[in-house]
Each structure stands twice: as C-alpha cells, then as structure tokens.
Chain A
C-alpha cells in the first residue's frame, strides 16, 4: 500500500506542468479569426474583453490560445454561486497567522493575484454565474489594476496582466445579470455563435485524431448537429463540442458497423443528449427530439 502511494506521488510530480498546452490546432477561420484578432487588440490596448456565446462554441479555447500565443501564464476560475472572493484572491493560512501574523509568508495566493503578479492571463469563465459579492471584488483589479490585500498592502498588477471574461447568453438557466459597474468596466463584448458549415467541418476534422471518415459521414454528422440548432423545441442545441465527440466516436468505431449511417445512428443519441435541453413548455424529451432529427437526416 505504501509503495503504491509512493508510486502515485512520483507520477503526480511528473504530471505537474507549468502550463497546459492546446493539443489540437485551433481553427481560426470565420468568426473565430475576427474574435481572436479582437481579443488580442483588446488586450494590447488594455481593454477588458468578454466572450459571449452559448456553451461549447470555443470561448475558453480562444482565451487559452491568446494566452499561449502571447506567452502569458494562464489562470482560470469557473464561476458559480459557491465561488467566493477568497477563492479568487487567496487567503491567509490561519495556522501560520497564529505563529507569524498576517504577512506574505502566511498568504496563499488565489489565481487572480497570481495572474496579476506574474503578468498572466486570468480567465473568468461564466462570469454571469458569479454572485454580486464576487463581481465586486473584480472591479479594482479590472479598472485600477491593483488589489488592496489587507494588511499586506496594495498589490499592483504587472504590465502584461490581462483579464478575459466569458459568459453564456443571459437566457441560459442559472445566469445572473452582471452588475452595472462591472459591465461598464468590460469594454469589449465579442459574440460567438455556432460556426458556419465550412468552419465547423474543419473543426470536426482537426479535433479528431487519425481522422479518416468519408466526406459524406462528416456531412451527416454536421447536418444532425445543425438540425438541433434549427429545432425550436430545443433551448440548448448541440454545440461544436458535441459534434467533435460524435465525430471521434464514429471515426474510431465505424468498422464495427455495416454502414456510416448505422454508426451515427448508434452514437448520436448518447453523445448529443448529454448537453441538450428541451424548452420546458414543449413536453418533449431530448431523446425523442434527437431520434426525430436523426431519422430526418439519415432516412
């Protein structure tokens, strides 16, 4: 048991990396090209950008790509109602405080302070799920680029410190409206929506290891994903991320099936249903809607 634990600790040590690299090429075409360029321009000119779009359209990936291309360290927090300001800023270790008081050595920095000190990129994912308490703690770092860490003093951000927010459209369940003060400090609102066919097909290909599917199969996958977006019954349709998962599965296991249609028909319900949501008043289930769409596209 002790050996196993020792082994795990060694593996853990080896797994620790400075920064996670993006594994697949990022398709910077169409809206993504514009968004990427705007994102960089905003950061270069000291404007705080916010990427707005439905889940799975690549908001986080774009932010990560910018961090990687500008050689900034990357810090992120996924907001929800349980995230407190101390989760962002950091907190004092009470045991060390008892011994040596509140000072730099007893302070455990949070990702925001780390990003400020290192001059890195801080990504606030789903900012519109943050409570007002949390939103308020972001105002000084955003506008004045400093944070008053009592009793240590004022922490000033490095020149290259940058802040990127992402948010889902406000119609999405569980979201709050951002406070006016915070909204005013976000100077650039970049909207992302579902990509065009050409772009999405390339995304599907690029994100599928050893891609070898015929064009017709990829087209069918895209048509199914697209049909979910055109279906008015669905509040949340399938994202490009779902399309990628479906493509990967079909690509890997297509040989097990008699035809590409069979493979798609087999995997699509399980993959697509995971993130889709039917409008409450429609009285249909996701499974039923997916089944209808698959039938319509494949038959």
Chain B
C-alpha cells in the first residue's frame, strides 16, 4: 500500500471498511454480526484523526475497526483488521452459514433423524429391562423416535431441543462452542421472558406519589378516594395526595434439586431426561437470578453446587449445566468425583438432597417466599416396593409444605411413558396427593409458563 493512499485516506478506507465488515460477517466466531451502522461509524471515527493529522495511519484504521466492534468481538476484529492491512487472505475459505432465522433451524435440524441412547443399564434400569422381556437393550426407546415434535409446541422449544441434540453429537470444537453459545442465548431469552412476566406479578400495594415518578402507575380510583377523604379543593391538591401502585417484590429463597441418576440418561426423541430438565432449569434460574438460590444435584451421592447463603455468579453455573447436556453418566461421575467407579454412582438416592433443601429453606427468612424446584423422572423405587427411606422423602416434602415452603416438581417426559410408568406412578401420585404442583419438562416454554403461574400463586 503506498503512502499516497493513506494521504487520501478514504481511497483506502473505502476498501478497508467494507472488506472488514464483510470478513467479520463471514467469521464463524463472530456471533453478533456487524450491522451497516458499524461501517458508517468507522468512517465517522476516522474523520477527526484525518482532520488533525492530514493523513490516516494504519493504526487509525486498526483502531477504528476495533473500537467500533462490540466488546466481545474486539479481539477478532483486531485480527481481521490486521489481516486486511497486511494483505492476508481470509483464512477460513469455507462458506459461512448465516446462523439466523430459518437457516439456524436448518442447521440445528439437519441431523435430527438419529436417536441417541445412553447405554448405562444398571440398578433400576436393569430392573426395568428384566421386568419387560420385550426389551433387549437400550434401543427400546427407539420407539419414541421422531414422535410428533414440529408444530406441537412453540418453535422456540423445537429449536432448543434440536439444538441440544446437535450439541450432543457435534465433535468439532468450534462448532460446539458456537452451538453452546446459541443455546445459552436462547435459554436466557426464555429466562428473560419469565423475568418480565415475574416483574408484573409483584405484590401490589399503594403509597403516595413522589415527584419524578411515572404517572402511568397512579391508581386513579384510590387517588380520587384519598383526595375526597382529605377534603381537598381542586387548587389544594398536592402531588403526594395521589396514590401510586407499588409493585413490591417479595424476596424469594429458591433451592433447585436436579436428579442426575442413571435413569435420567435414557433418551426420548434424541435427548435424555437430564437434557430436558436442563433446558427448563437454565431459563428458570436465569429468570429468577435476582432471588437467593441454591443448587444441589444427586444420584447415589448428593452434590451441593451452591448453598443459599453463598455468593456466586450464576453464569458460570449455567455454563456448567449446559455442558452437562453432552455428558454421559460416566463423564458426569468423572466430573464430580475425578475418578470412575460405577459401583457407588448413578443410583437414585434423593434423601440427602431433599433434607438439604429442607434445611436450607428452613434457615432462610420466613418472610421470604421459600421455594423448592425439584427436577427428576421420579423413578424412585421398584413397582410396589416403597421402602422406609423413600417414605421419609415424602415426609420431608410434606414437612416443607407444612412449614410454608412451596415445592414444584419438574417431571421428565419419560416419567409418563408406558415403560417408566410402573416405576413412577406411585411417586408422582403421592407427590400430587401431598399437594406438590408439577409440570412436564417436554416443552421448556410450557414448563416455564406453569412455573410462572406457580410463582404467581402467592
């Protein structure tokens, strides 16, 4: 590049800016693609430097490219701009798929003809196989293959489920990263919707208007009543005579229990019960992130991720949960124990977790709305063999309800399928009798709808 092209800067900038924007849009790592506004801004921000110095330097162009890019993209922007300035051709020659709208759907759904089954038959699962002679192995669930999905629930649910499925089988690390990011964004979007709904369903009371407040929130009836009661004449009315609707949010203390026992790894339509739970759990936790929360996972052992009283950022926890979508039970054992020893892993022992949830929530302030969300397939015992330990679990849940702690169950869609039903019927019925509201996690958006109604009940 000759110096003259920099002295007449917009000769080169005319090439540099569109080329930079074009390459950024093609770059796979750039999730939020630059808009035309960025091109305009790049031109604008170069102008003062040119006016000051009478020429543009390479660093002016580089800086313009970097600072007009969003913070998350600035490292990539720097590399792309340097490539252009040093005349390096684009490294990635593969055509880039535009991951928006319909094309995103096609990307996520192109491998949906396969069904994944995690063969971890042992313990209760083995009993299921023994009790059902027609079942010869984990492929039993292929009968759920391609059950009606498209068109049954909202499109968002469909994308999430296909996304989880594709994420599970994708081996390319870059693609996995991208899929994880897309899934996370969509789950958070669902969470934000829950949050918005939740904002509007706060406990309403009235209080006097204060200058600077939104007059749309004035309760006209009660204001009029108040003004008449005070006997004010028109010219005597003061701002504080008006009554504002006060949406006071009751503080919440929430404990999430997530079952990760082996039965949770059976697939329905390509994704397993852990996946179903997580697709509902992540938006739920994100939507309620401003409340106090605790999280525990259980199989034969219980794994406390966060106490109610601990301070911890939610995002890394959600990323870990998202990561669990791709894990088998063995990988999960390795993650949580550092070793693989199947003998004491993978069973269904919720006792300690339920007791932990009870302890945590009884310690929380009684003035807060104390809630336990329990995600499981509820395969707790063999049919007709309800043991004392299991009875104890119902007892603890009943005590929670007696103490004013609200419990909501997120049930895996497999729990109501023919093959699981003999194992789950008793547990689900008992929970229902105790008074635990529940919703299936088959469609995350519907689950959240139910969860919101539940939250709103108070």
Which residues in A have some Cβ–Cβ distance to B below 8 Å? 38, 40-42, 44-47, 52, 81, 84-87, 90-95, 97-99, 108, 110, 131-132, 169-171, 173, 177, 180, 183-185, 187-191, 235, 277, 280-281
Inside 8 A of A85's CB, which chain B residues have their CB?
214
B313 touches A (CB below 8 Å) = yes
A94 lies within 8 A of B239 (CB): yes
A191 lies within 8 A of B311 (CB): no
B44 lies within 8 A of A45 (CB): yes
A45 lies within 8 A of B313 (CB): no
B192 lies within 8 A of A132 (CB): yes
Which residues in B have some Cβ–Cβ distance to A below 8 Å? 32, 35, 37-38, 40-41, 44-45, 47-49, 63, 67-71, 74, 188, 192, 196, 199, 209, 211-216, 218, 223, 234-235, 237-239, 241-242, 290, 306, 310-313, 315
Inside 8 A of B49's CB, which chain A residues have their CB?
41
Q: How far is the CA of A45 from the CA of B239 in the complex (A)?
A: 42
Tell me how far the C-beta of B336 lies from the nearest C-beta in chain A, rounded to whole angstroms. Answer: 14
A94 lies within 8 A of B74 (CB): no
| With A95-B238, A281-B312: A187-B211 Cβ-Cβ less than 8 Å | no
Of B45, B196, B242, the most chain A CB neighbours within 10 A belong to B45
Of B48, B67, B215, B312, the most chain A CB neighbours within 10 A belong to B67
B192 lies within 8 A of A98 (CB): no
| With A47-B45, A187-B37: A52-B71 Cβ-Cβ less than 8 Å | yes
Tell me how far the C-beta of A99 lies from the nearest C-beta in chain B, rounded to whole angstroms. Answer: 6
Tell me how far the C-beta of A59 lies from the nearest C-beta in chain B, rounded to whole angstroms. Answer: 13
Q: How far is the CA of A45 from the CA of B48 in the complex (A)?
A: 8
A84 lies within 8 A of B214 (CB): yes
Inside 8 A of B312's CB, which chain A residues have their CB?
280-281
User: What are the 9 A-B residue pairs with the smallest beta carbon separation, nearest first?
Assistant: A280-B312, A187-B41, A86-B214, A45-B44, A41-B48, A94-B242, A95-B237, A95-B239, A92-B215
Tell me how far the C-beta of A144 lies from the nearest C-beta in chain B, rounded to whole angstroms. Answer: 13
Q: Taking CB as reference atom, which chain B residue is nearest A190?
A: B67
Tell me how far the C-beta of B224 lies from the nearest C-beta in chain A, rounded to whole angstroms. Answer: 10
Which listed residue (B70, B196, B239, B290) contacts A93, Cβ 8 A?
Answer: B239
B214 lies within 8 A of A98 (CB): no
Which listed residue (A40, A91, A132) contacts B214, Cβ 8 A?
Answer: A91
B313 lies within 8 A of A110 (CB): no
Of B69, B235, B237, B238, the most chain A CB neighbours within 10 A belong to B237
Which listed residue (B45, B192, B211, B218) contacts A188, Cβ 8 A?
Answer: B45
Q: How far is the CA of A173 from the CA of B316 in the complex (A)?
A: 11
| With A84-B214, A95-B237, A180-B32: A187-B44 Cβ-Cβ less than 8 Å | yes
Apart from A98-B234, A170-B71, list 9 A-B contacts with CB within 8 A: A45-B44, A81-B290, A99-B237, A132-B192, A187-B37, A187-B41, A188-B67, A189-B74, A191-B71
B213 lies within 8 A of A91 (CB): yes
Could you show 13 A-B contacts with beta carbons less than 8 Å apart?
Answer: A41-B48, A46-B44, A84-B214, A86-B214, A86-B216, A91-B215, A93-B239, A95-B238, A95-B239, A98-B237, A187-B41, A189-B70, A189-B71
Q: Taking CB as reference atom, which chain B residue is nearest A87?
A: B212
Tell me how far the C-beta of A70 lies from the nearest C-beta in chain B, rounded to whole angstroms. Answer: 13
B214 lies within 8 A of A173 (CB): no
A99 lies within 8 A of B74 (CB): no
| With A41-B49, A46-B44, A86-B212: A95-B242 Cβ-Cβ less than 8 Å | yes
Tell me how far the C-beta of A129 lies from the nearest C-beta in chain B, rounded to whole angstroms. Answer: 11
Tell me how far the C-beta of A43 lies from the nearest C-beta in chain B, rounded to whole angstroms. Answer: 10
Which listed residue (A81, A173, A190) contacts B313, Cβ 8 A?
Answer: A173
Tell me how far the C-beta of A26 lies from the nearest C-beta in chain B, rounded to whole angstroms. Answer: 20
Of B70, B212, B238, the most chain A CB neighbours within 10 A belong to B212
A45 lies within 8 A of B47 (CB): yes
Inside 8 A of B38's CB, which chain A residues have their CB?
187
B45 lies within 8 A of A41 (CB): yes
Inside 8 A of B239's CB, which chain A residues have their CB?
93-95
Q: How far is the CA of A270 from the CA of B335 in the complex (A)?
A: 38
B68 lies within 8 A of A189 (CB): yes
A108 lies within 8 A of B214 (CB): no
Q: How far is the CA of A97 from the CA of B237 in the complex (A)?
A: 10
| With A94-B223, A94-B239: A44-B311 Cβ-Cβ less than 8 Å | no
Q: How far is the CA of A186 from the CA of B315 in the complex (A)?
A: 24
Inside 8 A of A41's CB, which chain B residues have their CB?
45, 48-49
Inside 8 A of A187's CB, which chain B residues have their CB?
37-38, 40-41, 44-45, 68
Q: How far is the CA of A243 from the CA of B10 in the complex (A)?
A: 44
Inside 8 A of B213's CB, which chain A residues have their CB?
84, 86, 91
Tell me how far the C-beta of B34 lies from the nearest C-beta in chain A, rounded to whole angstroms. Answer: 9
Inside 8 A of A169's CB, which chain B residues have their CB?
71
Inside 8 A of B216's CB, which chain A residues have their CB?
86
Inside 8 A of B68's CB, which chain A residues have their CB?
47, 187-189
Q: Taking CB as reference atom, which chain A residue is nearest B209?
A: A94
Inside 8 A of A52's CB, which chain B residues have their CB?
71
A38 lies within 8 A of B209 (CB): no
A171 lies within 8 A of B315 (CB): yes
Tell me how far the C-beta of A193 lies from the nearest C-beta in chain B, rounded to whole angstroms. Answer: 12
Tell me how far the C-beta of B221 lies from the nearest C-beta in chain A, rounded to whole angstroms. Answer: 14
A189 lies within 8 A of B67 (CB): yes
Inside 8 A of B192's CB, which chain A residues have their CB?
132
Q: How far is the CA of A91 from the CA of B315 in the complex (A)?
A: 36
Q: How far is the CA of A97 from the CA of B242 in the complex (A)?
A: 11
Which listed residue (A90, A98, A170, A180) contacts B212, Cβ 8 A?
Answer: A90
Q: How far is the CA of A281 from the CA of B307 in the complex (A)?
A: 11
Inside 8 A of A81's CB, which chain B residues have their CB?
290
Tell me how far the C-beta of B281 lies from the nearest C-beta in chain A, rounded to whole angstroms. Answer: 19
Tell me how far the C-beta of A167 lies from the nearest C-beta in chain B, rounded to whole angstroms. Answer: 9
B235 lies within 8 A of A99 (CB): yes
Of B70, B188, B242, B290, the most chain A CB neighbours within 10 A belong to B70
Q: How far is the CA of A47 from the CA of B312 in the complex (A)?
A: 36
Inside 8 A of B211's CB, which chain A residues have their CB?
91, 93, 108
B32 lies within 8 A of A91 (CB): no
Inside 8 A of B44's CB, which chain A residues have their CB?
45-47, 187
B241 lies within 8 A of A183 (CB): no
A108 lies within 8 A of B212 (CB): yes
